[in-house]
Amino acid sequence: MTLEAEGLPIGMADYLIAGICLSRSAELLPRNRDHFSRIGALKLSDL
């Protein structure tokens, strides 16, 4: 199921950022963890 179908979209820019990180197996250090935590395969990092 997609985030839009669940009623939880995160915005085009955040989708692009997440896609780049996923394609490069990179971790993301986000300011808005709420948005990016919705993408299960995305690795999030803390400071």
Condensed to tens digits (0 to 9), the pLDDT of residues 14-40 reads 999 999 999 999 999 998 898 899 888
- What integer pLDDT is reported at residue 1 of this predicted model? 52
**H-assigned helices in 1-47:** 12-23, 33-36
Whether the CB-CB separation of 37 and 10 falls below 8 Å is answered with no
To which residue do tokens 């948005």 refer? 35
Q: Which domain holds residue 44?
A: 1-47
Maximum mean pLDDT: which of 1-5, 6-10, 14-18, 43-47: 14-18
pTM, to two decimals: 0.81
Count of structural domains within the chain: 1
Whether the CB-CB separation of 27 and 18 falls below 8 Å is answered with no
